[in-house]
Structure 1
Amino acid sequence: MTGKAFYVTTPIYYPNDVPHIGHAYTTVLADVLARWYRLNGYDVFFLTGTDEHGLKLQRAAEKVGKTPKEFVDSMVPVFKKYWSLLEIEYSRFIRTTDPDHEELVKKVFQRLYEKGYVYKGSYSGWYCVSCEKFYSEGEYVEQGGQKLCPIHGKPLEWVEEETYFLRLSAVQDEVLKIIESGGTVFPEAYAREVVGRIRKEGLKDVSVARPKTRVYWGVELPFDRDFVAYVWIDALLNYLTGIGFMRDDDSFQKYWPEAHHIIGKDILWFHSAIWFSVLRMLGLDPPKRLIVHAYIVNRGLKMGKSTGNVVMIDDLLERYKSADAVRYLLMRLLNLEKDVEFDQSLLDSIYNGELADTYGNLVRRAGVLALRKLGGRVPRADPDPGLAELASSTIKRVAELIAEVKVSEALTATFDLLREANSYMNRTEPWALDDPTRPLYNTLEALRVATNLLYPVMPVTSELVSRAFGFQLFPPAELAFGQVEEYRVAEAPILFQKVK
């Protein structure tokens, strides 16, 4: 055990509809990192949940004749169901309606108010309900005489009202220094984007309250009960609530220095400029890393109900018949900097070529031969130098790639090892040998190493193979070619059925 901690979060999602593969993309990535670090002996805390306040959910509830609380209560089990179906193992599913979170929001607002960072004023501007955000001139899209949200394409609403502002301008220099120092916002291109915007526009004070006459569904401000907290500030504070800020100092001090937020690029500004400002006002350091990814797009647009281009999690589970396959495909598509177009034929090709043929076929062939030729018992034999060297370099390379959140490249490297194991088997032809011990042992060792490395992405499949072939899953840091004294193969499972 390393004794080290690792804290990973997803954004908390609006429970206004069923989650789709855009939500899954982020959540599976967080789960992969959580499993990788947990396997390596880290004390891991993985936080996900739902963002349950604000005008969007208020209106969604009113539309179906429910109170907002009744509405969100009905939707939360849906999210939990899909995360269970996708083998997501979180430490806490947080809801912004949880009593400890609402209490923290009030405490934070009171503290910021007393420190002079929150002040009353009035505001007017164009507002997107779906984003829960005001858009200034130059940010929105104009079409047919209407001002539209650049993300959702919906008409913006003109809003004029009293509010409370957060004095972001007071910490602009500190926030710029944090982001410009490098390493916190990852990849670096996103840091440059935020810095460029701050230098161009300045860090303007932002409205952080809504009058209850317009938005009644939220956390009341402790110093003015006629207002509720702006949903984005409410939501961002979940990262502190989840690990005990102002409640459990030991937990907070353990996990916060190792915080890794995973977000989509559309919420970069809130999670960098605004969130880092709030943290500085509270006297807290920024997260260790803000990991930003691009989108899976469909027909050139970010997936969303309003654009009608959503791909549902059910569709992929039905097509590929396993959560592990869906997890693998999403992580093979993963790109932090460039949008990836959803392409069913490409996914089918990856599934058939990599999961069914390369991995699944090798497991089946090796297992059947071990059972048929050696009664399932494959003792230790001399390692093949080439295969052993490739396995060792793959272990090292995958660890480096995961540290840089290059999960797709890590999978490619792992499958290069599996492809070489297939080639090795074809060259050595163990089926034609009276004693195939050495080639089968080497093939099984390559399979074992690859299966260990695939565990964070495909946990169910990895555990199935480890049971079938009689080996344990090792922490990657302790993994080495030639460790197993004897394989006791119990079965030769068929892992993946091809799709047509």
Structure 2
Amino acid sequence: MSARYMVTTPIYYVNGSPHIGHAYTSIAADVIARFKRLDGLKVFFLTGTDEHGQKVEQAASSHHIAPQALADKISQAFRDTADKLNISYDHFIRTTDTNHKQGAQALWKKVAESGNIYLGAYEGWYALRDECFYTEDELTTQPDGKKIAPTGAEVEWVKEPSYFFRLSQWQDKLLSLYENNPHFIGPESRKNEIINFVKSGLKDLSISRTSFQWGIPVPGDENHVMYVWFDALANYISALGYPESQSDLWAFWPANLHLVGKEIARFHAVYWPAFLMAAGIELPARIYSHGWWTVEGEKMSKSVGNVINPSDLVDEFGLDAVRFFLMREIPFGGDGNFSRESLIRRMNVELANDLGNLAQRTLSLIARHCEGKLPRQDEHTVEDKALLSQAHALLGQARIFIDAQQFHEILEKIWQVIRACNAYIDAQAPWALKKTDLSRMETVLRVLTDTLRVIGTLLLPFMPDTMGKLLTQLGIPKGEYSFASLATPLPEGTILPPPQGVFPRYQPAA
């Protein structure tokens, strides 16, 4: 049986429509899932929607509809967006699914049986927008006296009966976890924030609410519903059939990677491992949180009107160009700025000029001078060997960067080879060799096609549609899209389809 790999996005909260931040996480997870499949692994890629909580109940009430109806509508919008972005998820979970409710309740019972849950009363600062409790020292006070959470959300003082998780008992074990598993949290800056938070002292965590009803009932006490984060985090195991541990899907646990936004790093890197340790369940291998996007230098805001709908972006610029830009523009883990100018520049310079033009020149020369057949090759020169060596090194480099979630580094290494190819074709001038050395011309074109095959295969996870078209033009059957197949040269004389451009230049509408 092939090795297994599980990657997850957070489940997206149904209090608003999908935006570029959601697309960013989903595309990153999709790149990893596709990469691992190409590398021969059996992959389980999980995404979905988080549908319970006070905000959903209140939003549904304001629209005079049932919470389930609101959840159905917005969850479908997230699924439609994932499909439009060509996200190759294996399962789309909803926290209103019956099997998820059963899994979350089973996790609660397991944690309770370990003595880590008790009934008390909660009194403290609560941010409805974040569905999160904050301590006094985390808040700032505005001139009008309002208290604000670190996320910018307004907080209010609440008091109600609550079940608590004994988070305070897990401080030392969490710190040992981070110390013994230095790659458990990424990037490094986020890991330091989490460690400092845990070192500052952990208080027991309120994990139930009685002030609203839209949630999963607490087992044995239906006056309480689960705190939305206990419910939501359980999705990662309920999707695998928890508490049933004999299913084929359960073999994917523990997850290899949870990808999340930095605003929910604490829930995943502190609360989630504590819940799992209390329940005696293995921990995920890694939790990586990325940064936020601004838009043309401004924070995304409904009031400003600059929230980007990813579907609109795809309609205007094309799917693979958008996928490429989001993975290329900034180091994954840091904050970044979305600008149309940057997107168009990358489309025209890197996609159209660098890669598109290289492929078009190479394939057109083969069509014109080699009867449209894959050329044969003679002995390689130093220049040939240097280019092929650089190309063949890409896979090993990409494996390292994919496991570090450094997508921009993979793309930069690939573009170094693309730029080297363009320098090579200019220096070798195969169009001139047609008149002086036919055998050398064929060798040069074959070196270029072999290098383009590596480039196209490694770019498949990022741009599956356009790279599929490129590989088809290189004579590679879809069934041979894999990293392992790169070790087997394509037979000379393979008839190639007529060349077609893969990346036209972007021309703004008049």
Asked if the contact 1:294/1:335 (under 8 Å) is kept, the reply is no
After superposition, where does 1:197-236 map in structure 2 within 5 Å? 197-200=197-200, 202-211=201-210, 214-236=211-233
Map of 1:489 onto structure 2: 496
User: 2:419 & 2:114 partners in 1: Cα distance?
Assistant: 61
1:16, 1:60 within 8 Å by CA — same for their partners in 2? Answer: yes
CA distance in 1, matches of 2:134, 2:305: 23
**Counterpart AA for 2:377:** A
Whether 1:420 and 2:427 are equivalent positions in the alignment is no
Q: What does 1:411-450 correspond to in 2, within 5 Å?
A: 411-432=411-432, 433-434=434-435, 435=438, 436-450=441-455
- Identify if the C-alpha distance between structure 1 residues 388 and 97 changes in structure 2 by more than 3 Å, giving closer, same or farther: same
Aligned with 1:246: secondary structure? coil
Using the TM superposition, give the Cα deviation of residue 450 of structure 1 relative to its aligned residue in structure 2, in angstroms. Answer: 0.3
Task: Provide the residue aligned with 1:332 in structure 2.
Answer: 328
Matches within 5 A, 1:12-411: 12-150=11-149, 153-181=152-180, 182-200=182-200, 202-211=201-210, 214-251=211-248, 253-298=250-295, 303-305=300-302, 308-320=305-317, 322-382=318-378, 383=380, 384-411=384-411
Cα deviation, 1:454-499, whole Å, max 9, x if unaligned, reads 0111111111111122124443355249555344221212222222
Return the letter of the residue paired with 1:485: E
Distance 1:354 1:477 in 2: 27
Which residue in 2 is equivalent to 1:469?
A: 474
Contact 1:94 1:238 in 2 (8 A): yes
Partner of residue 455, structure 1? 460
Question: Contact 1:324 / 1:460 at 8 angstroms: preserved in 2?
Answer: yes
Displacement of 1:136 in angstroms is: 1.8
**Offset, 1:336:** 3.5
Shift of 1:100: 0.4
What's the offset of the Cα at 1:301?
A: 6.0
* 2:369 counterpart letter in structure 1: K
| Distance of aligned partners of 1:108 and 1:126 in 2 relative to their CA distance in 1, 3 Å threshold | same
Q: Aligned partner of 2:125: which letter?
A: W
Q: Give the alignment's TM-score, normalised by structure 1.
A: 0.94
* Separation of aligned partners in 1, 2:245 and 2:283: 19
Q: Deviations over 1:166-213 (max 9, x none)?
A: 11122222121111221211223322221111111x1210100000xx
1:22–1:303 contact (8 Å) kept in structure 2: no
User: Hey, what's the Cα distance between the residues in 2 that align with 1:234 and 1:301?
Assistant: 33
Paired residue secondary structure (1:120): strand
C-alpha deviations, 1:86-106, integer Å up to 9, x for none?
110101000000000001112
Q: Which moved more, 1:57-66 or 1:336-345?
A: 336-345
Shift of 1:49: 0.2
Matches of 1:304 and 1:120 in 2, distance apart?
39
Deviation, 1:353, is 0.7
Secondary structure of 1:155's aligned partner: coil
Instruction: Please say which of residues 404-413 and 233-242 is displaced more in the overlay.
Output: 404-413
What's the secondary structure of 2:451's corresponding residue? helix
Q: Is the 8 A contact 1:47 1:92 kept in 2?
A: yes
Query: What is the CA deviation profile of residues 419-442 of structure 1, one whole-angstrom value per residue up to 9, with x for unaligned ones?
Result: 111221112222232433222111
Shift of 1:77: 1.6
Is contact 1:392–1:480 with CA below 8 Å preserved after alignment? no
**Structure 2 unmatched ranges of 5 or more:** none
For residue 84 of structure 1, report the CA deviation from its aligned partner.
0.9
> Deviation at 1:326?
0.9
Following the alignment from structure 1 to structure 2, what is the Cα–Cα distance between the partners of residues 344 and 461? Answer: 21
Separation of aligned partners in 1, 2:266 and 2:304: 23
Q: The residue matched to 1:379 in structure 2 has which SS?
A: coil
Query: 2:486, 2:301 → 1: CA distance?
Result: 42
Deviation at 1:225, TM superposition (A): 0.7
CA distance in 1, matches of 2:491, 2:146: 65
Could you say what secondary structure the match of 1:6 adopts?
strand
The one-letter code of the counterpart of 2:24 is Y
After alignment, is 269-278 or 296-305 more displaced? 296-305
Paired AA for residue 361 in structure 1: N
Contact 1:219 1:229 in 2 (8 A): yes
| Number of residue equivalences | 495
Instruction: Using the aligned pairs only, state the percent identity.
Output: 36
Secondary structure, aligned partner of 1:87: coil
Confirm or deny: 8 A CA contact 1:296 1:302 kept in the other structure: yes
TM-score by length of 2: 0.92
Runs of 4+ in 1 over 6 A off after TM superposition: none
Please state how far the C-alpha of 1:318 moved relative to its aligned partner: 2.7
CA contact (8 A) 2:9 2:258 kept: yes
What is the Cα deviation at residue 265 of structure 1?
A: 1.0
Structure 2: distance between partners of 1:105 and 1:337: 30
Q: Is the CA contact (8 Å cut-off) linking 2:216 and 2:225 kept in structure 1?
A: yes
